Amino acid sequence: MPSARKKVLLRDAGRGVRDVDAPESSVRRTHPSSRIPHPASKTIAAVGVIILAVSGWFYKRDDGSEAPIYRTATIQRGSVKPTVSATGTLSAVKTIQVGTQVSGQVAAIYVDFNQHVRRGQLLATIDPALQNQAVAEAQAQLERALATMEQAAGEYTRGKQLFEWKALTASEFSALQSNLSVQQATVKSARIALERARQNLAYTKIYAPIDGVIVERNVDVGQTVAANFSTPQLFLIANDLSDMQILALVDESDIGAIKPGQTVEFTVQAYPNETFSGTVQQVRLQSKTQDNVVSYTAVVGVKNTTGKLLPGMTATVQFLTGDAENVLIVPNSALRIRPTPAMLAQAQPAMGTNDGRSTNVIATDDQHANSAILWTLDNHGTLRPARVHTGLSDDTYTEVAGPNLAVGTKIVIGVVDAGSGASDRPPSNPFESPRPSGGDKGG
């Protein structure tokens, strides 16, 4: 009789578990206390757990039965102030460039930067040596012209008597008369030249034309200035720095919203945490084109009572183009939500339809003027679309109005995980965080 055989399980390390037929006598019975697990078995078990977890993750992603995860906010009551941004330069309302009408060397300067001056105050002196010589020469020319005129007048008087006595011909008398007229004109011209020379001498003293502050001083003592072709600028005087202006360049796409009388807020780099205010005084018709960008100049009046604002500072300007107080407002991102198929499917029961017609209208209907779709969530998490009327909007919030809107209503501002409708394919890495989809990611 063949020896009895018994089926036993032999664990072959490296090749898994297999069934073999072995003689009963050859089966070695091992005491339970001697069965020590092999280290490789722990590794195999851990890998198996990870594979099961990954398989389960892909199964959930491909199943698509999970509801989207939303980022939400609430309807609030507040104010909306839309603005137009621009940059400009601060300057005094009235500035005067003080120059010289005569050439020469600067002999003296009596004022300096930031000094307050009064109208008629002496600012500087040009060396008057050449102008004094010009006056003396003009005076000599006038005296010579007077002497010549006296001689011509005497000859005319004698010639007239001779002409009356018929001792002088008419042509000779006419020549004497003409000579006297020429000498009289010469005297008049010499007097004008003398007045011009004296005036040029007076121009060697530079006086302040207005009350104000010395903003610029462009010369020093000993420097030579030449006024032959253009008037050199010696000083720049600002009339009153307590009243200043901003010449802001506004893009042509925004200039239509800028009107005289509008309130303006602006900041300067010297005081980044302080906001200053002003008023639009003028929108100039003259345009400026730079790098194919057309802009217009808006003049903003500013009160500088504290004296912090200085000429030449760069101002970042915000033109207040509207103001809505105590209205319902929502984040701008709530009005930019594009519903995913999962969102539309979730909203069908709340809209009382299962055929998808209403959801298709929401998903494909163009936005009407001044209206948008707002997605709301009630206390039970039911998703409902609501068409609202939109009003003023700034960089963060938009004014809304419509039925069943109240302060505290929860609204969708973004979709974190839209299920199967959020993306055409899942992320390649199962441990990667889900990417926002289905709408604006901002708040």
What average pLDDT does range 372-383 have in this prediction?
Answer: 88
**pLDDT of 48 over the 70 cut:** no
**pLDDT of 95 over the 70 cut:** yes
Residues 126 and 37: their CA atoms lie apart, in Å, by 109
154-163, 218-227, 431-440: which has the minimum mean pLDDT? 431-440
Which pLDDT does position 15 carry in this prediction?
Answer: 41
Of 235, 257, 279, at which residue does a domain stop?
Answer: 235
Q: Any long-range contacts for 259-262 (C-beta under 8 Å, 24+ apart)?
A: 259/283, 262/319, 262/320, 262/321
Q: Residue 409: inside a domain, yes or no?
A: yes
Q: Residue 245: inside a domain, yes or no?
A: yes
Of 271, 295, 325, at which residue does a domain stop?
Answer: 325
Whole-prediction pTM:
0.62
Residue-wise pLDDT for 109-148, tens only, equals 999 999 999 999 999 999 999 999 999 999 999 999 999 9
Owning domain of residue 31: 5-61
b/e sequence 242-277, b meaning 16+ C-beta within 10 Å: eebbbebbbeeebbeebeeebbbebbbeeeeeeebe
Whether 37 and 45 have beta carbons less than 8 Å apart is answered as: no
Whether 246 and 89 have beta carbons less than 8 Å apart is answered as: yes
Of 202, 235, 268, at which residue does a domain stop?
Answer: 235
Q: Residue 428: inside a domain, yes or no?
A: no
Residues 6+ apart with CB under 8 A from 224: 103, 104, 105, 106
Same domain, 412 and 301: no
Residue-wise pLDDT for 244-263, tens only, equals 999 999 999 999 999 999 99
Same domain, 229 and 244: no
What's at 126, amino acid-wise? I
Same domain, 209 and 258: no
Whether 69 and 415 have beta carbons less than 8 Å apart is answered as: yes
Which pLDDT does position 230 carry in this prediction?
Answer: 82
How many domains, the chain? Answer: 4
Distances, alpha carbon 195 to alpha carbons 137, 187, 189, 207, in Å: 12, 12, 10, 20
Same domain, 330 and 320: no
Q: With pLDDT > 70 as the criterion, what percentage of the chain qualifies?
A: 74
Residues 245 and 302: their CA atoms lie apart, in Å, by 5
Q: Residue 427: inside a domain, yes or no?
A: no
- Residue 371 — very low, low, confident or very high, per pLDDT cuts 50/70/90? confident
Q: Residue 355: inside a domain, yes or no?
A: yes
What average pLDDT does range 95-106 have in this prediction?
Answer: 94
Same domain, 321 and 331: no
Same domain, 106 and 214: yes
Which pLDDT does position 417 carry in this prediction?
Answer: 59
Same domain, 181 and 203: yes
Q: Residue 194: inside a domain, yes or no?
A: yes
Same domain, 173 and 55: no
Same domain, 122 and 202: yes
Q: Which of 435, 382, 391, 369 is nearest to 412 (CA)?
A: 382
Residues 165 and 390: their CA atoms lie apart, in Å, by 110
What average pLDDT does range 22-42 have in this prediction?
Answer: 45
Phi, psi values for residue 381, rounded to 5°: 80, 15
Same domain, 202 and 296: no
CATH of the domain at 377: 2.40.420.20
Whether 70 and 305 have beta carbons less than 8 Å apart is answered as: no
* 3-state secondary structure string across the chain: CCCCEEEEEEEECCCEEEEEEEEHHHCCCCCHHHCCCCHHHHHHHHHHHHHHHHHHHHHHHHHCCCCCEEEEEECEEEEECCEEEEEEEEEECCEEEEECCCCEEEEEECCCCCCEECCCCEEEEECCHHHHHHHHHHHHHHHHHHHHHHHHHHHHHHHHHHHHCCCCCHHHHHHHHHHHHHHHHHHHHHHHHHHHHHHHHHCCEEECCCCEEEEEECCCCCCEECCCCCCCEEEEEECCCCEEEEEEEEECCCHHHCCCCCEEEEEECCEEEEEEEEEEEEEEEEEEEECCEEEEEEEEEEECCCCCCCCCCEEEEEEECCCEEEEEEEEHHHHHCCCCHHHHHHHHHHHCCCCCHHHHHHHHCCCCCCEEEEEEECCCCCEEEEEEEEEEECCCEEEEECCCCCCCCEEEEEEEECHHHCCCCCCCCCCCCCCCCCCCCCC
Same domain, 9 and 53: yes
Same domain, 272 and 372: no
Which pLDDT does position 67 carry in this prediction?
Answer: 65
Q: Which of 183, 187, 233, 242 is nearest to 211 (CA)?
A: 242
CATH of the domain at 281: 2.40.30.170
CATH of the domain at 214: 2.40.50.100
Q: Residue 433: inside a domain, yes or no?
A: no
Q: Residue 442: inside a domain, yes or no?
A: no
Residue-wise pLDDT for 220-244, tens only, equals 999 999 988 788 899 999 998 999 9
